[in-house]
Every structure is written in structure tokens, then in C-alpha cells.
Amino acid sequence: MQSPKAFTLAAHGAKMPVIGFGTMELPQRPAELVAYAIKCGYRLIDTARKYGTEERVGEGIRASGIARDELWVTTKVTELDAREADFLRSAETSLKALGLDYVDLLLVHWPQPKVPFAETLGALAKAKRSGLTRHIGVSNFTLAMLEEAVHVCPEPLVTNQIEYHAYLPQDRMIAALRRHGMILTAYCPVARGKLLDDPIVGEIAKAHGKTHAQICLRWLIQQPMVAAVPRALEEAHIVENLDVFDFSLNDEEMRRISTLRSRNIRIADPPERAPKWDVETIA
């Protein structure tokens, strides 16, 4: 396996690893899995206040023994804490839970329509200026929300972390993020396992001697300014998801996988907080 350390994406002064370890809904041994992921070479660990895994992530980081400046840690503030005072309190709580002096990236987890974006994004910028985080971004923002966020935020935004996989088109969002010099960070990169049975992905996987998951992740990170944060519940899958740097997909393989967008399957769509998603026109 090639070392993933050199594979980063640059945006507004940030150098973010292109593959991270997602920690949502780790039902057991989360600290051990985080420590193992770091041992295997992951340098981006993605968590959130809402996940309830920050304490275990912190334990895993300490157990790994790796120097803090070698890691990129992302966490997120829930939409329930969109007011400035609540937002900053949540960020400080996250640092205490993680046992860290700062995170590398702090995100607005979901948009909160009941609070002006100027207030929430202003608090996000304040968190950066006060040293709670090195970089900032958003998550689950639509095109219109992204444009407003970029306009009202006093500090540059590094990423929009959104659901993106071969079954869900995000062409317009990708174009918008590139215009703003931002990274698309893809969660649910294998559509919660739905892509693992796809025959087109399987055919390409067989040709490369790789797994379905590795083909899906390679398809994502081979696109400019796209990173991915897959989750894994077993050590073997942790290793598998990182082993995507020793091969590439040719143009025809990339195109064939891209045709799967016509399925238009969205996995993460919680009715209590999801915005009205953008409609993509699939060519």
C-alpha cells in the first residue's frame, strides 16, 4: 500500500487529507478503531458533536501515540446550536471531549433556517479567529445556502461536506465549490453499501483486482477537489478503504461509473433537519 500522507487537497491555506476515517455510528470499540485507523495511515479523523463519538475519538488519538500536528481532526456543531453563544460553547465542549487544544476543521453540521446565516457563520469565523479551529466549512448546504454562506462568512470556507457517491449526482455543487476554491468532502461514499453489489462497479473492480468499495472511493478522489470520509466497522475494511492510491481508473471507467448517477439515490435525508435539496439535471 502506498503511503497516503502525500495525498492532500489544498484550499484557502488548508492541506486536507483526501481520505479520512468517519466515526458516525460506531457501535462498539470506537477508540480502538480510531487508533487502528491512525496506525494504518489515516491522517484525517472525522467526528461531530451529534455523533456522540468525540470522547472516544480523543481516546483513540491519544492511544495512537501520533504527534498532534500529524493529524487532521474535523468536528461539527449541530444545528441546534446555531446561535452565536451556543455555537461557541459547543465548539469549546467538543475540544474538551476530544482532549484537544484545537481542531483542524470545524463545520456547521446542518443548516438552521431559524437563525440568520450571518450569525451562525459569524460565530464559525469567530471560532477560527479565537483559535478553536484552524479552518472552517459547512456541511449539507444546498447551492443557494453555499452562496450565502460564502458571502456572509468573514473567513474563507474550506469545504462543504455532503452526501456524494456514484448513485447521487452532485455536478452543480461540484462546479460551485470549484468556483469558490473549496473541497467537496463526500460522506456515504459507497451509498451505505448499496454500491457494493453494483455489476458495473464489480466488473471494474475485477479488472483492477480491487474491491467494490475501493473502486467507489477511487472514483471519488480521482475527481478534482473531492475528498471522502468512509466509515468502517472492521479492521479489514479500515485497511481496504485506504488502499486506493496504487491504481487509477481510465477515462472510460470513470465515465461508466458516472452513468450510475441516473439512479439518483439519496441516503441521508432526515426530515427534521434536511433542507430542500437541489435538483440535478443528469445529462
Catalytic annotation present for 42? no
Over the Cα atoms of the chain, what is R_g?
18
| Residues shown for the chain | 283
Pick the catalytic residue from 51, 164, 167, 187: 51
**CA distances (Å), 193 to each of 39, 44, 220, 267, in order?**
25, 22, 15, 10
Which one-letter DSSP state was computed for residue 162?
E
* Distance from C-alpha of 149 to C-alpha of 230, rounded to nearest angstrom: 26
From the list 154, 81, 143, the residue with the least C-alpha distance to 121 is: 154
Short-list 226, 241, 183, CA closest to 4: 241
Give me the active site residues, please: 51
